[in-house]
Structure 1
């Protein structure tokens, strides 16, 4: 910036005031400087902020801790500078209020089910309506984190563990049933075919064992 010219960077605007009144709005580039005027630079690039974690009550009287991220950019540099002394703070508050209102209509189970993937159309519209009054456009509001109370997290962990234990017991019971069915089938087969039973007995003997074969009825030799 020289004494006679001013340069406005890309994606910025410069508000020129003289005697307290707006004279013009300069876009990016090099401009002749207005004498005895005040120049206010406004950044038009997209920006983002994340709200602090806040306690938000659900419709069934419980509370969760949640945060949102807001993408925003200045659309009207004049309103952004003139309407509010803290335009970003205005949007920040709107995001917190909109988050509370959205979760207030959900039960804890619905919050757990949706989590950070909850629809944000209504949330974005509510924040964008407030932001428009201060010359800001809000393309998107994103729910970043939803933290459950400690006792709810513990209960959810216990429930998952119980389901896993139940599944393991079910698989064990299925395996035992299959084994018993196999043994029953084998017993029926051996009962129908005694020779197989004898063969199975011989196969089960340890190495080196002696086998004595008897042909016919043992009492027949006494006649």
Structure 2
């Protein structure tokens, strides 16, 4: 008579005291948040411009049973999911938005949601994905620097023109005031003469 083979069962243990069945295998899994940093990858944006991007993922195991059934190394799943999410979001973002955001125009919430959707069935929870070190090509950075420089020069010229107009307006008002008040013109002349000078005023 053949003995029926006992089926293998995977179960999680809650905090507290538990009996240890014989021939059981125990796997200790961390229950705290973990950080995972993605290496810099080259990703084309919506306009085909290749940018370099990196990200940091904060994640944790929330279902040990589902996790053990899905993969041995959860970090590998999170890493791949975050990589694909960054590529998707960068690929949908035009270069102009990346330039306008100075390299921080990516929606971290969208990257987080896309990453979480790929690992949800594996008993993992993605808390946040922060895209950092988004590096634009040299040509784009140079064009951005030229644009900023031109804007600053234009602002400087505009301020100089405004100051000149204000000075001319003040001179015009002063000349009109002196023409209308001769006595005031004489007083202003006396004030302008250096000390010790002789002034002859015709009556």
TM-score computed with the length of structure 1 as normaliser: 0.77
Give the deviation of 1:150 after TM superposition: 2.6
Larger Rg: 1
Q: Spell out, residue by residue over 1:9-60, the C-alpha distance to the aligned partner (whole angstroms, 9 max, x if none).
A: xxxxxxxxxx882364322233332223322112222222121121111111
- 1:149 aligns to 2:137 (yes or no): yes
- 1:92 aligns to 2:71 (yes or no): no
Q: Which runs of 5+ in 2 are unaligned?
A: 1-5
Give the deviation of 1:129 after TM superposition: 2.2
Q: Spell out, residue by residue over 1:161-208, the C-alpha distance to the aligned partner (whole angstroms, 9 max, x if none).
A: 222222122111111111111112222233333333333222222111
Q: Which runs of 5+ in 1 are unaligned?
A: 1-18, 216-223
Q: Spell out, residue by residue over 1:195-222, the C-alpha distance to the aligned partner (whole angstroms, 9 max, x if none).
A: 333332222221111223433xxxxxxx
TM-score computed with the length of structure 2 as normaliser: 0.83
Q: Distance in 1 between matches of 2:67 and 2:25?
A: 16
- 1:55 aligns to 2:20 (yes or no): no
8 A Cα contact 1:117 1:143, kept in partner: no
Runs of 4 or more, structure 1, over 6 Å off, are none
8 A Cα contact 1:95 1:127, kept in partner: yes
8 A Cα contact 1:44 1:74, kept in partner: yes
Q: Choose which of 125, 139, 158 in structure 1 pairs with 2:146.
A: 158
Q: Distance in 2 between matches of 1:59 and 1:98?
A: 14
1:11-160 to structure 2, matched below 5 A, reads 21-22=8-9, 24-114=11-101, 115-116=103-104, 118-160=106-148
Q: How many residues align?
A: 197
> Which structure has the higher relative contact order (CA within 8 Å, separation 6+)?
2
Give the deviation of 1:99 after TM superposition: 0.9
RMSD of aligned Cα (Å): 2.3
